[in-house]
Structure 1
């Protein structure tokens, strides 16, 4: 299971590491995107915005597990 870690609004995940990033979006929704590019068959994940943080995390966990992505980062609101 991927490690979930909160990050500050000005902090960015390492670009050389596979991860999912969840950020607060417009209208109270949550935007997620992920990359599993550390192998020959790079995979990117850009689902539609989620209504709740819980839904975003659950979907991110499923995608991360399926793609061996070790980290999910949650960017805090400013």
Structure 2
């Protein structure tokens, strides 16, 4: 988690609503990480609610400014 929180670019942490009580969720939120709770699923959003999972990823990607490549 420490490495993830110090990455130098926008980050999103995705989790299923059944895991909304995870004790460590405030830590990434306080580090500026966007939390993405996916409804109607637990540990595997890809299997339980793939349509909404991919929509959240696309929305996150759309709001992140493009970085010039070197």
Greater share of strand residues, 1 or 2? 1
TM norm structure 1: 0.30
Higher helix share: 2
**Structure of higher CA gyration radius:** 2
Higher relative contact order (CA 8 A, sep 6+): 1
